[in-house]
Homo-oligomer: A and B are copies of this chain.
Amino acid sequence: MNCELLNKNYALLPESYLFSEIARKIAAFQEKHPEREIIRLGIGDVTRPLVPAVIEAMHRAVGEMADPATFRGYGPEPGYPFLREAVAAAEYGSRNIDIGPDEIFVSDGSKCDVANIQELFSADCSVAIPDPVYPVYLDSNVMAGRGGRLMPDGRYGKIHYMACGENNGFQPNLPPRGTALIYLCSPNNPTGTVLSRATLEKLVAFALDTGAVILFDAAYADYIRDDRLVHTIYEIPGAKKCAVEFHSFSKSAGFTGVRCAFTVIPREMETLRRMWLRRQSTKFNGVNYIVQRAAEAVYTPAGREQTRDVISGYMRNAGVIREGLRKAGYTVFGGEHAPYIWWRLPDGVKSQAFFDFLLEKCAVVGTPGSGFGPEGEGFFRLTAFGDPAKTREAVSRIAEMPAFPA
């Protein structure tokens, strides 16, 4: 084949997607040291089984698929009404926010949706992303040619990086005027910090003023422990005119291996809503029926109570890591309203080198902060999704870890 035909933007991406590269390193370590028990606090993957309410709904739906009278073929591309209605009521109606079922688009994952949404915008529009943040926002825009030149410091020339760190309390400043797309993630992956109401009000006002669109990733909203914090961007007046919101069942109900999510595009952004409907009808064929019944079950009283218990368990792990590391003398952020702990490494320690060090010395896996953007350098992410006993064991190992090599 003629390689001149290929999308050259792919060549601008680092060789490996962060998490695939980590998986490779872990496999190599385990092969070399088969006797050591690795504790994985790296990838943000859940470990607790699906809750009983979900399992029951799945068995029931599998049964329906076996019977000609109840079998389901293609469903509506944006999702079955039963699920869209349940989402509208539970996620928004319950907060007195008027979002209707036709503004909700069910999909097989927020990763897909946050990666695909950029297709609705022109190839040359300008993009602002938090730094550090989940890498998919950046990578999907680089693939589409919005990155510009890859610079020696790892930044892309046309991307505006909104630094979120200690010195601004993890609250980004406004991007430059003329920015078209503003990605936000709150609670943030990887820092575990939450955007304040004041920050969101400023960003919404900016978007309304400039015509920018906010792409708000709320995948971890159910980990927020304080009702006064913002759970959905639509709590901010005016957001329906400028913001798309992404939610997932992956972390809220342990669906990482099940695959279900939803995206909200309000009627106030009707052109965009219709474009997304067109995109999904053309390039997507809806979510598995059994999965949609499973997601519906998350919103039953039993499903809500059971998933809340699972989240509480993960958040206890978060507390164990946060407090354990603090007691050992480290500085950490996050872990209060998110399943991520953001660990500041001693001055001058590089996060990739620290990944190798921690794996070698403690057989504990985390994620190097630099994988989430330039501002992530010098930080390390640990996740609260592990087994409680293993999480405690990891913290003990870390507390006894030798000093970093200079």
Q: Which residues of A contact B (CB under 8 A)?
A: 1-8, 10, 13, 17, 19-20, 43, 45-50, 52, 55, 58-59, 62-63, 65-68, 71-75, 77, 108-109, 111-112, 115-116, 119-123, 125, 135-136, 139-140, 143, 145, 180-181, 207, 210-213, 241-242, 254, 256-259, 269, 271-272, 275, 278-279, 281-291
A2 CB contact (under 8 Å) in B10, B115, B212, B256? B212
10 examples of A-B residue contacts, CB within 8 angstroms: A5-B122, A6-B120, A6-B275, A43-B74, A45-B74, A55-B65, A108-B259, A140-B282, A258-B288, A288-B291
Complex Cα gap A58–B72 (Å): 15
Query: Chain B contacts of A143 at CB under 8 A?
Result: 119, 279, 282-283
A45, A49, A74 pick with most chain B CB within 10 angstroms: A74
Minimum CB–CB distance from A244 to chain B (whole Å) comes to 10
Complex Cα gap A104–B121 (Å): 31
Minimum CB–CB distance from A25 to chain B (whole Å) comes to 16
Complex Cα gap A135–B282 (Å): 9
Complex Cα gap A58–B62 (Å): 7
Q: Known interface pairs A5-B180, A5-B213, A50-B71. Does A284 touch B66 (Cβ–Cβ under 8 Å)?
A: no
Complex Cα gap A361–B119 (Å): 42
User: How many copies of the chain does the oligomer comprise?
Assistant: 2
The 10 closest A-B pairs by CB, nearest first: A2-B211, A115-B283, A45-B73, A73-B256, A49-B71, A72-B257, A17-B281, A55-B66, A5-B180, A257-B289
Q: Are B283 and A2 in contact (CB under 8 A)?
A: no
Q: Are A278 and B13 in contact (CB under 8 A)?
A: yes
A284 CB contact (under 8 Å) in B73, B109, B256? B109
Q: Given A10-B278, A52-B66, A65-B258, 16 more contacts at CB 8 Å?
A: A1-B242, A5-B121, A6-B122, A7-B275, A47-B71, A74-B256, A115-B282, A119-B143, A123-B123, A139-B282, A140-B282, A143-B279, A257-B289, A258-B288, A258-B290, A259-B288
Q: Are A7 and B288 in contact (CB under 8 A)?
A: no
Q: Are B109 and A285 in contact (CB under 8 A)?
A: yes
Q: Are B45 and A65 in contact (CB under 8 A)?
A: no
